[in-house]
Each structure stands twice: as C-alpha cells, then as structure tokens.
Amino acid sequence: MPRTVRPTFALTAATAALLLAGCTGGGGSDSKGTTGFGGAVPDRAQAGATASPTPTPPPTGPYVALGDSYTAGMKLPPQAGGPDGCYRSGANYPSLVAKGLSIAAGQFKDVSCSGARTEDLTGPQKVPGGTNPAQLDALTADTRLVTLGIGGNDAGFMEVVTECAKDNLVDILKGVITDGGDRAGKSPCRDHYASGNGTDEVQRKVDAAGDRLGQVLQDVGKRSPKARVYVIGYPGLLPADPASCLPVLGKTVAVSDLGFLVEKEQQLNGMLRKRAEAAGAVFVDLAGPSAGHDMCAGEDKRWVEPPLPARGLVPIHPNARGQEAMAGVVQKAIKG
C-alpha cells in the first residue's frame, strides 16, 4: 500500500525560517580546497572506475535513472513526467546524460522522485498528485545502463541541517543569559546527535542505509544482469573551510557544527562508494569536482543553492548549472 506523504529532500517553510535567520544573499567562499561537504577528492572524477587499455563503448540504452531530488532536479524547468510531486526535471543530469550519449527517447526512463529513500526503490512512494511506483520496477533484463543517486533522505540530512539551526538558536539564547554570549568552540548540534560511544545518530542512519543499498544493488543485478551500474555521490554543499561560509550563512549554524555537517556527508559519500565497489558498480564522485561550487560560492559559480536561493530555486539543492556539471562528470565516468 502507498505510504503517507513525507517531506521531500527540501526545506519546509519553518525550516527555511530557521536557516534564513542571520543569512544574507550574495557570494561567499570560492574555496578551492580538496574536500567539500562530501569527502576527499579522488585522483579521477569518475572515482571507482578502473582504467582499461581497450575502453568498452558506452551503452546506447535502455537507460534507467533512479534516485531522489538531487537526481530528479527538483522544480527545475521544464518539469517532465508524473506524478507532479516528484518534481522531476527534463533538464536533470540523467536527461542530459541520455542526450550526451545519444540515447533515444524510447530507450531512456527516468523514475527518480523527490523525497525518495532506499525503501522507495522497492516499494511505491506516495507524493502530492499521485504515487510513484517502485523505482526498480522500471528495470528489465534488457536494461544496459543504470544510474542511482540515493541516501540523503535515509540519513535525514535536511532534518539534521534544521536541527543544527535550531540547536544553535537555543544555544545563543542560553549563552546570552549564562555566559554573556561567549560561544567559542561550542557544537550544540554535534552534542545533540552524540551517543557517547563514538557512533552518533546520523552515522547509524547512514550505516543502516548502506545495508539497504547493498540489498538494492543485488536486486538491480538480478533484474538487469547486463547493465552497467553507476552509484552517484552527492556534490559538496560546504567548502573545505566551513568558516568561509559565514558571509552567506551568518550565525545560523555554529562554525564547529558546520564541520560536523561536513563530516556527516563525508560519511554518506564514503558509504555510497563502499557499497558500489562491493557490488561491482562504479561510484561517481561529485564532491571533488564540485569544490569551489558549493552553496557558499558566488551566484555565478555555485552548483547548489544556499538556504536563501536565487528566485524560483529550491534551497540546498542543485541549480541548473549544477545539474549540467553533474551530467558532465557522470557522462565522463560512463565513457571511461
């Protein structure tokens, strides 16, 4: 049975209100560091791929794209396919990859959906305007190319960002009363998720998502045994030096907690890489190529929008420039 509608990998109005407190528009860091909100930069953009003296020609289809809002291209025009609540764009990276590989329209199927978790790959996902069928149902024995971008919603990253903003606000109010506002070195969000045994709540969710992803990749192999499978990582949301985000984020999140957020997506991308390699799939790193294009970069450089996005765009989600750049990295990995 379809499940009740749950929030997509986007910000609710309440979340945005919390995050936008203290935020300003405009550019921020143009950091060229080798790690972003996603992990270390590999030697090659298509991390996980191995060199071959005789490269295999890229598949010409059928191609099936699976994933969440970062794959769907949430609310980027033109919107394509239903249900409406998936907010799937005809200019997302799967569509651009299909075009770049000259895959015919009839050989390309994009079933990604905003808000999707790993469970929505094997079961229906109810969204505003209808129900997105289990994404793996789009696979067949004839499928030759599969891209999969999933995991952020399983880890609850939007909820974590919201919690960090809330905890920071509470800590500011407490600090004004108890210590005159001295908050140097404080990490209220890290403290919130700490378990005391070295594994915090977010890491446990990432680990659990990894177990489910491992099973999903086995299922993909059974349904489409001749397909080449690519697991797509997440682009960097924050620069290597989170403190350089202060011009954009202001005091919304403590600097030390920005470091905590960096660590959490590094763990997520690390899990995706590990599970891809274990299943014989290729992990495509987006954190490295997106360095200097995080949400704190200038409007003309960023791939991901900040909490206060450009008009008509979704906070903390890839913009059109980001989808195009991501498509380039994915296509490069597929071509080898």
Q: Which residues are catalytic?
A: 69, 317
CA distance 156 to 205: 8
Pure H helices in the chain: 13-20, 69-72, 93-100, 119-122, 152-155, 157-178, 188-193, 201-223, 246-249, 255-278, 320-335
Question: What residues form DSSP beta bridges with 130?
Answer: 127
Q: Give the N- to C-terminal CA distance of the chain in Å, as an integer.
A: 41
The tokens for 37 are 């909100």
306, 295 contact by CB (below 8 A): yes
Q: Are 79 and 90 in contact (CB under 8 A)?
A: yes
The residues that bridge with 284 in the sheet, in sequence order, are 232
Q: Are 9 and 155 within 8 A, CB to CB?
A: no
Q: Which residues face 40 on adjacent strands?
A: 35
**Residue entry with tokens 């094997």:** 122
CA distance 24 to 39: 26
Q: Tell me the residue length of the chain.
A: 336
- How many Å is the Cα radius of gyration of the chain? 19
Burial of 222 (0-12, 13-18, 19+ CB in 10 A): exposed
Using CA of residue 233, residue 239, residue 241, residue 243, what is the dihedral sign? negative
Two structure tokens written together for 236: 């960097």
Residue whose C-alpha is closest to residue 265's, from 290, 291, 233: 233
Q: How many Å apart are CA 46 and CA 323, to the nearest integer?
A: 16
